[in-house]
Structure 1
């Protein structure tokens, strides 16, 4: 696609790209649940999440430095562990992103469902499915949010974040007395899946390393700097919105709107504008996830892991792998058929992504011997494995507590079963079995 001849990204340009990818709708989704679970201490979920995730971040940055031209979690797990491990990581990552797009789509659908009575006669699951396949159809038709349009959406998405932080500072100077509860911190660790969900996609640097100037010296700085910027913004956003709304934040469906109406009651249009930006960021997030994640399924099919390779790798005149897109939309819709609850969906999305992180951490542990700093890479890789196990356990704990472990296992196993079935497709042995021997 001509990427090798494209101008290289400098450190700060690449950092901005990373920040743009990481900052998403998760910050708005998390505001109320964090308050409900941890009260005023909810803002600490992000630095704690970063602390636990940091070994994984450093490990992926080291793999990016070692293999800037390869990139991707799938390739590293495949090359350093086993082809089957690469498939498992790639499939798990695909599933996690599909579930994430499902949650964002559902949140946007509910935004309209609350406002238009005629929509309330239809099952929400049906509306979700129509919307998700509608986004997939737009992708197939060639609608793109790349280039300047992507940056416009990114800047607009920052508006409500900056607005809430500004309101928090203003409320402090105005002497607003907060009613937020500063109780015990026992529920803080339960917020980990939410924090990790909001910090997802930091690994994008691994996939664009070949586009960065001197990745061997800048990749680590880019990943760490971008994540630190995002966590700082998230922390002050949650602290500000908790300070202004107090305990009522826990039950707020549209908290940004309430913040604006509380401080600027005479300017209702301001709140409506900010609130609309929040929910339209859900569209750009879901649209972007669907557009990018389908290529993960494309790659797995192209490497002959899945049956019906010729269908899954079909690209239309709009340069879109349309069958993979429709399959992805199907998985997103299936996830919502099992549950529409936010925290379980976030936990499933994070658990799936963490499987991919775990495999690349194990790959880095094995690759550490060939690194310029084998002891350092070995230590952080081992720590990353521990982080992944802990995060995965917290997610699994949440999934099991709401009775969705079988549902998640069902979705996860579809890819495994498909890979096994690939042995029998068209009477040939698939790579899953070839790799086993």
Structure 2
């Protein structure tokens, strides 16, 4: 549930609108290809746990397989991705609650972040219990949505052929347009690796990682492909509005009662779930980096091994607060740069996961090479699209800075 919950967030319920508008009905292929890529990366994580058990999360598997510099870079880019994502989610949740809470916007942001930070500070169990219920709401919402859509398709007299082909055809932006939507799809599916971090604090870490990675990507692929396929079959893709939930658009179009209220709750739950999981994952990676000397040593402190790393959690919360503040103080400089570079960072640490697995000479090496080709294909599609080219270049520039810092740090520690 933690793994599914980490992925089924606002990227699915809202972000899918961007992918649909980019590709048209053929976006189903984009989600299929993105799902295959995520499934392959999950297989890489499973093989790393089997080949080198007990070494920690995938960040420290990378450190063991590719060296201290790669571990430094992977840890910091993963942390930056999550802190930036958390800042965006705090802004989104405050915007969603603003009409219902008579408080200043900044106060609402602070309270949301404080509550989710408090959940993580209490205990590891409290994080797990909250995330299980958050994930349950999202999974049930998607299943109910698919059932409602299936009933409409069977009994509602829906002009499916017209919706799919009557607005420019299946691929209104060209036969290869589905590739342009793949980066958006991959980014929305990012998060399954959280379960590998959470599994380290369970009774059977390596066994749990293997079991999770074997099944979660398949379930994820089914949820994403089926729900998006239903959307483009029930409504014309061209009528979907960017930045608005296509799920809500479908339900409102067919007069499903209470759709707005229910989807508002689901989207808010998705955002809070991302906040909960993001603080958890970022703090564990930051604490682990501190133990390896890649972050300030004081962030490694824990009362016991079963206690949450409270200093690392607070550091992540303060960094998140700084990111959300930058959206107000420097929206066109600092905040836009942070958001734009996350795409390249996500692809980068996934490439590192695949390269680590290939270096360990695990069986079925073709899976690793296929995953690597698909990841490089995503980078290529980002480079070809004007909208994502600048994001890729910003990410590569930031990656060079982090790599130089890592080279200096790991060189000094020898």
Q: Please indicate, yes or no, whether the TM-score normalized by the shorter chain is above 0.5.
A: yes
Q: C-alpha displacement at 1:400, in angstroms?
A: 6.8
Match of 1:12 in 2: none
Within a 5 Å distance, the mapping from 1:388-407 to structure 2 comes to 388-395=375-382, 401=388, 403-404=390-391
Q: Is the contact between residue 21 and residue 201 of structure 1 (CA under 8 Å) also seen in structure 2?
A: yes
In the aligned structure 2, how far is the partner of 1:156 from the partner of 1:100? 21
In the aligned structure 2, how far is the partner of 1:396 from the partner of 1:101? 26
Q: Secondary structure at the match of 1:176?
A: coil
Match of 1:364 in 2: 357
Within a 5 Å distance, the mapping from 1:420-435 to structure 2 comes to 430-435=409-414
Structure 1: gaps (5+ residues)? 1-15, 424-429
Structure 2: gaps (5+ residues)? none
Match of 1:240 in 2: 230
Please point out which of 285, 308, 312 is paired with 2:274. 285
Q: C-alpha displacement at 1:327, in angstroms?
A: 4.7
In the aligned structure 1, how far is the partner of 2:381 from the partner of 2:325? 23
Match of 1:6 in 2: none
Within a 5 Å distance, the mapping from 1:142-291 to structure 2 comes to 142=122, 145-173=126-154, 174-178=156-160, 179-180=163-164, 181=167, 182-184=169-171, 185-204=175-194, 206-207=196-197, 208=199, 211=202, 222-246=212-236, 247-251=238-242, 253-264=244-255, 267=257, 269-291=258-280
Match of 2:315 in 1: 324
Please point out which of 292, 296, 303 is paired with 1:303. 292
Q: C-alpha displacement at 1:67, in angstroms?
A: 1.9
Q: C-alpha displacement at 1:235, in angstroms?
A: 0.9
**1:87-118, Cα deviation, whole Å (9 max, x unpaired):** 111111112222332333333233245x4798
In the aligned structure 2, how far is the partner of 1:343 from the partner of 1:248? 28
Q: Is the contact between residue 18 and residue 204 of structure 1 (CA under 8 Å) also seen in structure 2?
A: yes
Please point out which of 372, 388, 391 is paired with 1:385. 372
Q: Secondary structure at the match of 2:190?
A: coil
Q: Secondary structure at the match of 2:43?
A: helix
Q: C-alpha displacement at 1:155, in angstroms?
A: 1.4
Match of 1:352 in 2: 345
Coordinate RMSD, CA, aligned: 3.8
In the aligned structure 1, how far is the partner of 2:406 from the partner of 2:383? 24
Q: C-alpha displacement at 1:39, in angstroms?
A: 1.4
**1:157-201, Cα deviation, whole Å (9 max, x unpaired):** 123312321221122121122535333243211111221123222
| Residue-pair matches, total | 395
- Quickly say closer, same or farther: Cα 1:257–1:361, change in 2 above 3 A: closer
**1:356-414, Cα deviation, whole Å (9 max, x unpaired):** 2222322222221xx5x3xx23x333333333333334446568747445754675566
In the aligned structure 1, how far is the partner of 2:75 from the partner of 2:62? 9
